[in-house]
């Protein structure tokens, strides 16, 4: 192991090591539950900082793990969102009586899996990353014992996830059979039918993780049942990891141009199906969490629009993912502020009167989710659409904008529910979670008005 290797895996080490530290410390010390979540958040922040400080450099372990601009960027995003989710958890674990140390450790493990998936240099590491990302999530999903059917959705998630990872693994095997290599770079030579079949299976496996329709069926249930901070975490980190891997694989597949067209066509079709079905499904939801779940599936569709545009759109994808992360953490964060973990829209009545600041923040977040200016959500959509138009996907863009109108309908329902008169669920007092929500909303506005730095930063996302 060289210093280069260490540099490449430093953020990973911080995350996985942090998980171990939390577990061990929990055995040794008796501390307030909240401490563990806070400690985990600190490790996540440390991972992000590590990635930021070390920056891109030479790959580690013979290119098994990449240390390019993309890895660094996604490490920062994953670290920051994990930290945000764990901060949400600080005020959440105690009333929910969750085993804080284990939850924190699992979250950090999963985050390291996401990072592994995002920076994998070969398919085996990607597969391990996928599993490391998923397995803690299966457990986290079922953790909220009293919640509606937590065990049911945990089981569903697990069974579907197991089948999907089998598909992904089979894809790797087919690639290996057709190219005698599992390096991601070798996908370019997988031009025989067997190799192409492998690529198709890789795509299916990642589409599952990214929750693209029709691979999305686990997502609404899992999102609703999981403890809300975990929902926020999995909605962000799983997608970041999956899309990073999709980009990486896509870059290799489209590099020689042989299969580039197929890759883009497949993703364009997946994007179209996802956009239409997810937005339609979100329309009639009465549960806020479920609505947001479908909304996050729909957002995967928007990202996928850019993925379909090819590697040139990596900046757009990165930008969208960052914005999406802030929006999602913020929106689910609002739920952690309510005393009911699965509020209906009616439960939001009167919230504007009782917690005006929260509603303003939620309003900003919803505007961002709907892609309305002056939020960063708008710029993210513009960026994605520009990439897609540049790739001659005008039809997809038109579909996407029309679907964003449909999405506005359900986001506004949420906003208007908050504005409605009535006695909904009582909200908890000010908390760290509230701070996270407000911060997310603030970030969305600030980036919407001063997008320059972030736009410059995503230019560094190169593979």
* Interacting residues with another protein between 351 and 380 (CB under 8 A): 367, 372-374, 378-379
Report if residue 47 touches another protein, rule: CB under 8 A. no
CB of residue 200 to another protein, shortest distance in Å: 4
How many chain residues are in contact with another protein, going by CB under 8 A?
140
Could you say which residues in the range 269-308 bind another protein, by CB under 8 A? 276-277, 280-285, 290
Paired tokens of 442: 């603030």
Paired tokens of 437: 């929500």
The answer to whether 218 touches 235, Cβ cutoff 8 Å, is no
Report if residue 94 touches another protein, rule: CB under 8 A. no
CB of residue 294 to another protein, shortest distance in Å: 9
Exactly one of 404, 433, 437, 438 binds another protein (CB under 8 A); that residue is 404
Exactly one of 339, 357, 423, 462 binds another protein (CB under 8 A); that residue is 339
Contacts of 166 (CB under 8 A, 6+ apart): none
Report if residue 336 touches another protein, rule: CB under 8 A. no
Exactly one of 103, 206, 300, 322 binds another protein (CB under 8 A); that residue is 103
Would you say the C-alpha torsion 274, 119, 133, 40 has a positive or negative sign?
Answer: negative
Q: For residues 83 and 108, what is the distance between their CA atoms, to the nearest angstrom?
A: 9
CB of residue 432 to another protein, shortest distance in Å: 20
- In the numeric block, the tokens 């939001």 are attached to 348
Could you say which residues in the range 218-237 bind another protein, by CB under 8 A? 218, 220-221, 224-225
- Among residues 280 and 439, whose Cβ is nearest to another protein? 280
CB of residue 100 to another protein, shortest distance in Å: 10
Q: Which stretch binds another protein (CB under 8 A): 237-245, 327-335, 402-410, 438-446?
A: 402-410
The answer to whether 267 touches 301, Cβ cutoff 8 Å, is no
CB of residue 161 to another protein, shortest distance in Å: 8
- In the numeric block, the tokens 């904008």 are attached to 401
Q: For residues 71 and 73, what is the distance between their CA atoms, to the nearest angstrom?
A: 5
Chain-centroid distance of CA 307 in Å reads: 15
CB of residue 81 to another protein, shortest distance in Å: 19
Tell me how far CA of residue 35 lies from CA of 38, 104, 329, in angstroms. Answer: 5, 10, 20
Exactly one of 6, 159, 312, 357 binds another protein (CB under 8 A); that residue is 159
Tell me how far CA of residue 10 lies from CA of 7, 46, 59, 67, 462, in angstroms. Answer: 5, 10, 12, 10, 19
Report if residue 132 touches another protein, rule: CB under 8 A. yes
Report if residue 51 touches another protein, rule: CB under 8 A. no
Q: Rounded to 5 degrees, what are φ and ψ at 373?
A: -70, 160
Q: For residues 318 and 312, what is the distance between their CA atoms, to the nearest angstrom?
A: 11
Exactly one of 27, 28, 30, 146 binds another protein (CB under 8 A); that residue is 146
Q: Is 393 helix (H, G, I), strand (E, B) or coil?
A: coil
- Among residues 3 and 163, whose Cβ is nearest to another protein? 163
CB of residue 323 to another protein, shortest distance in Å: 13
The partner residues of 344 in beta bridges, in order of sequence, read 287
Report if residue 53 touches another protein, rule: CB under 8 A. no
Q: Which stretch binds another protein (CB under 8 A): 41-49, 68-76, 298-306, 340-348?
A: 340-348
Report if residue 332 touches another protein, rule: CB under 8 A. no
DSSP calls for 231-287: HHHIIIIIHHHHHHHHHHHHHHHHTTSSSHHHHHHHHHHHHHHHHHHHHHHHHT--B
Contacts of 432 (CB under 8 A, 6+ apart): 87, 88, 90, 91
Report if residue 324 touches another protein, rule: CB under 8 A. no
Report if residue 149 touches another protein, rule: CB under 8 A. yes
Q: Which stretch binds another protein (CB under 8 A): 36-44, 112-120, 242-250, 328-336?
A: 112-120
Chain-centroid distance of CA 198 in Å reads: 25
Q: Which stretch binds another protein (CB under 8 A): 45-53, 123-131, 240-248, 437-445?
A: 123-131
CB of residue 322 to another protein, shortest distance in Å: 14
Report if residue 60 touches another protein, rule: CB under 8 A. yes
């Amino acid at each position: 192991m060289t210093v280069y290797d260490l540099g490449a895996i430093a953020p990973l080490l911080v995350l996985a090591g942090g998980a171990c530290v939390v577990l061990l410390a929990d055995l040794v010390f008796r501390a307030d539950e909240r401490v563990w979540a806070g400690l985990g958040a600190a490790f996540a922040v440390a991972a992000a900082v590590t990635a930021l400080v070390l920056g891109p450099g030479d790959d580690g372990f013979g290119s098994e793990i990449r240390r390019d601009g993309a890895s660094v960027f996604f490490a920062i995003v994953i670290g920051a969102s994990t930290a945000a989710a764990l901060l949400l958890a600080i005020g959440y674990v105690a009333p929910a009586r969750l085993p804080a140390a284990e939850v924190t450790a699992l979250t950090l493990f999963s985050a390291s899996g996401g990072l592994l998936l995002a920076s994998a240099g070969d398919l085996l590491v990607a597969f391990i990353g996928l599993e490391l990302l998923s397995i803690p999530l299966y457990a986290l999903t079922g953790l909220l014992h009293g919640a509606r059917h937590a065990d049911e959705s945990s089981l569903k998630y697990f069974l579907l996830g197991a089948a999907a990872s089998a598909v992904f693994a089979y894809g790797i095997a087919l690639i290996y059979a057709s190219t005698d290599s599992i390096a991601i770079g070798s996908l370019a030579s997988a031009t025989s039918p067997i190799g192409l079949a492998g690529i198709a299976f890789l795509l299916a496996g990642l589409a599952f993780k990214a929750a693209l329709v029709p691979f999305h069926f686990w997502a609404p249930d899992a999102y609703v049942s999981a403890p809300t901070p975990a929902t926020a975490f999995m909605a962000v980190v799983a997608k970041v990891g999956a899309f990073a891997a999709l980009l990486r694989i896509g870059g290799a597949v489209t590099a020689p141009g042989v299969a580039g067209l197929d890759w883009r066509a497949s993703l364009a079709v997946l994007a179209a199906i996802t956009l239409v079905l997810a937005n339609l499904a979100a329309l009639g939801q009465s549960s806020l969490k479920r609505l947001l779940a479908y909304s996050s599936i729909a957002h995967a569709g928007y990202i996928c629009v850019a993925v379909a545009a090819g590697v040139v759109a990596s900046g757009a994808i990165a930008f969208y993912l960052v914005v999406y992360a802030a929006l999602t953490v913020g929106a689910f964060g609002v739920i952690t502020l309510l005393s009911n973990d699965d509020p209906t829209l009616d439960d939001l009545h009167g919230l504007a009167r009782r917690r005006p600041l929260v509603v303003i923040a939620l309003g900003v977040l919803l505007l961002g989710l709907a892609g309305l200016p002056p939020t960063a959500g708008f710029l993210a959509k513009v960026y994605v659409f520009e990439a897609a138009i540049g790739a001659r996907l005008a039809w997809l863009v038109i579909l996407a904008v029309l679907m964003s109108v449909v999405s506005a309908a359900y986001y506004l329902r949420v906003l208007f529910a908050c504005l409605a008169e009535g006695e909904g669920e009582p909200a908890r007092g000010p908390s760290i979670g509230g701070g996270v929500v407000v911060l997310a909303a603030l970030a969305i506005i600030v980036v919407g008005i001063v997008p320059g730095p972030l736009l410059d930063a995503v230019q560094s996302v190169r593979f």
